[in-house]
Structure 1
Amino acid sequence: MSQSIDKPSYFNDAHYSHWKNRMMIFLQSIDYMLWDIIEDGPTIPMKRVGETQVLMERHKWSNQERNQVQLNAKAMHILLCALGPEEFAKVSSCDNTKEIWDKLGVIHEGTNEVKETNIGLLNLNYENFKMDPNEDIKAMFNRFSTIVNELKGFGEAILEDKLVRKLIYSLPES
């Protein structure tokens, strides 16, 4: 079954790193500023009332402020429409896209300490990668790609020439 290029990938608690990469590219393809909102958080028009910051009344927003709020709403809509009911329930209390994205990350990838442990394990798998004796090239490449893509999902990209060398050295002499 193929995925529409007009709809975000659906996510319901399976293959988070795959969904995360596809969703990142999907959002960037619509408007790169959507991705900026997710990474940096939205700019919410606030005003100071005494010692506290409160949301500014909508009729006082500048066009730029209104556009920023609109981009956050658009990104939230896309993210929430891409989630199954159980995933939606986990993030439905979030106020903006950065909170949603970060919460999904913690739920499915863990805290920074857990991420570092996972990165370490994936790097170990990468370094020790060899073709299994009863494995064909396609299965080996799929297993290798999974490790590399999971590393990329954690922000650990490996240069193409290193990947090619690693694959070649992973082959048996025969």
Structure 2
Amino acid sequence: MGIFIEAIDIAVWDAIENGPYIPMTKDDDGKREKHWSEWSDDERKRAQYDYRAKNIITSSLSIDEFFRISQWKSAKEMWDTLQVTHEGTSDVKRSRKHTLIREYEFFRMNHGESISDFQKRFTHLINHLVDLGRKFEEEELNLKVLQCLDRSWQAKVTAIEESKDLT
């Protein structure tokens, strides 16, 4: 969804990540939030990004998901709630990442598995790891694929390794 929102307007995504822009003014007591009638055109435009973000988020949800976040005032609060609900806390993410790393380390082609199914499984695993912040070099991934293929692929693996072009 982040890509979709960024494509609409990067400032809308910024409102989700960093919270709404709140126009402030200085008075004798320090800083205070401006009433919306005092906002300049630029302040109104910047504050509008949060409203647009809330509209996009709430319009994209099922009724159950909508009720889960409808009490929040900002798009950031809504997004954070959805993230924790669907992705878990940082501890859950860390645990999931460690589990996926172990799965990556022990990844092998299954007996009788087609190369297409093997590639789908591998790509699926890599995409999950990338989503959780793991970075891969192209050469590392190519080497991993070669190491994971079963014996029936050994001649092709040897030919590829001898060509020394794994990028």
Specify the TM-score bucket, using the shorter chain as the normaliser. 0.7 to 0.9
Please tell me whether residue 103 in structure 1 is matched to residue 81 in structure 2: yes
Distance change in 2, residues 1:125/1:96 (3 Å): same
2:56 to 66, 78, 84: 78
Measure how far apart 1:146 and its partner are: 1.7
Q: Matches of 1:156 and 1:95 in 2, distance apart?
A: 33
TM-score (normalizing by structure 1):
0.77
TM-score (normalizing by structure 2):
0.80
SS in 1 for 2:84: helix
Please tell me whether residue 169 in structure 1 is matched to residue 147 in structure 2: yes
Measure how far apart 1:32 and its partner are: 1.5
2:69 to 88, 91, 98: 91
Q: Matches of 1:134 and 1:54 in 2, distance apart?
A: 68
Q: Matches of 1:106 and 1:52 in 2, distance apart?
A: 35
Distance change in 2, residues 1:56/1:82 (3 Å): same
Measure how far apart 1:124 and its partner are: 1.1
Give the count of matched residue pairs: 152
2:158 corresponds to? none
2:7 corresponds to? 29
Measure how far apart 1:63 and its partner are: 2.4
Q: Matches of 1:35 and 1:161 in 2, distance apart?
A: 33
Deviations 1:80-133 (A, max 9, x none): 111111111111111111111111111111111111111111111112111111
Q: Which amino acid aligns with 2:50?
A: N
SS in 2 for 1:161: helix
Q: Matches of 2:58 and 2:90 in 1, distance apart?
A: 24
Q: Which runs of 4+ in 1 moved over 3 A?
A: 46-55
Deviations 1:39-86 (A, max 9, x none): 222212245788797642111112232112111111111111111111
Segments of 5+ residues of structure 1 without an aligned counterpart are 1-22
CA RMSD, Structure 1 to Structure 2 (Å): 2.1
* Identical counterparts, % of pairs: 36
Greater C-alpha Rg: 2
Segments of 5+ residues of structure 2 without an aligned counterpart are 153-167
2:40 corresponds to? 62
- Return the structure number with greater relative CO, CA threshold 8 A, min gap 6: 1
